[in-house]
Amino acid sequence: MAKPNCAECGEEKIRVKGMCKKCYMKKWQKENPEKAKAATKKWQKENPKKAKAAANAANRKYYKENTEKIKALSKKWQKENSEKVKANNKKWKEENSEKVKAANKKWKKENPEKVKAATKKWQKENPKKAKAAAKAATKKWQKENPKKAKAAANAANRKWQKENPELCRLRNEFRDGLNNYAEGKKMPTNKYSISYMKILKYIGPCPGDRALYHIDHIRPLCSFNFINKDGTQNLEEIKKAFAPENHQWLLASENLSKNRQWSQEIADKYGVEYEVSI
């Protein structure tokens, strides 16, 4: 003979007072909330592992059945409590710095393209911060790796010199000119309003075999007065000496025969005004 179905859920199960055990317990808990609460609390205390597993299972089940609802409520709460959320996140990150670092490292390793895109976007939106961050990172690396940093700098300098022989020559001439004819601390070229690129643009490409030509100062550097009477650098004279108009391509042989001379005759020869510094 078939067992009668549960009066509540209609399923064929073992009956307790006309109901399956599950429905009976549900009804009893509803009718006896205080006793049910006490019994649950007692069971949880006596069976902590089972209680935790049961709670986790119930939470997973509820989340699965109400995912969208939970997400919407969570989003709403976070929006209404943004400062609290921010503070909680900051506190948790500070207390779990190693976990955060490990998680970030793992994510970056698994998502190189996303990292690249996000970095590029941030750098574009924050150029000043990006520049400062890059500078700080480079400085830190150089401090931690002095030998590698020195080797890298030397390699970069050699490469630059190879790719920019004219700029390299102008840079060396500027440095030597100040060392020979000026005193005091040497400043970067932009502090003197000097531009190597403007000089090269003004004189144009070499008119012949580069090995046979020099970049010449029409009026030689030695004819300028780079030092003021009080011993400071004469910025105007330095600027004038390294102005684009004072440069030209000249055959090496002619430049050597010129030999740093400056006169009305030389000025006329190269079509410039004859000036003498006082």
Give the closest residue to 36 by CA, choosing from 47, 26, 45: 26
259 pLDDT higher than 90: no
pLDDT in tens, 141-169: 999 999 999 999 999 999 988 999 899 88
Strand pairing report for 15-16 and 19-20: antiparallel
Give the model's confidence band at 278: pLDDT under 50 very low, under 70 low, under 90 confident, else very high. low
14 pLDDT higher than 70: no
Q: What are phi and psi of 96, to 5 degrees?
A: -130, 45
Q: Which sequence spans correspond to the domains of the chain?
A: 187-269
Residue 269 near residue 233, CB atoms below 8 Å = no
In angstroms, the CA 198 to CA 196 distance is 5
Percent of the chain exceeding pLDDT 90 equals 54
In angstroms, the CA 21 to CA 24 distance is 5
| Number of DSSP helices (H) and strands (E) in the chain, helices first | 14, 4
Residue 15 pLDDT: 66
Count Cβ atoms below 10 Å from residue 260 Cβ, excluding itself.
Answer: 10
pTM value is 0.51
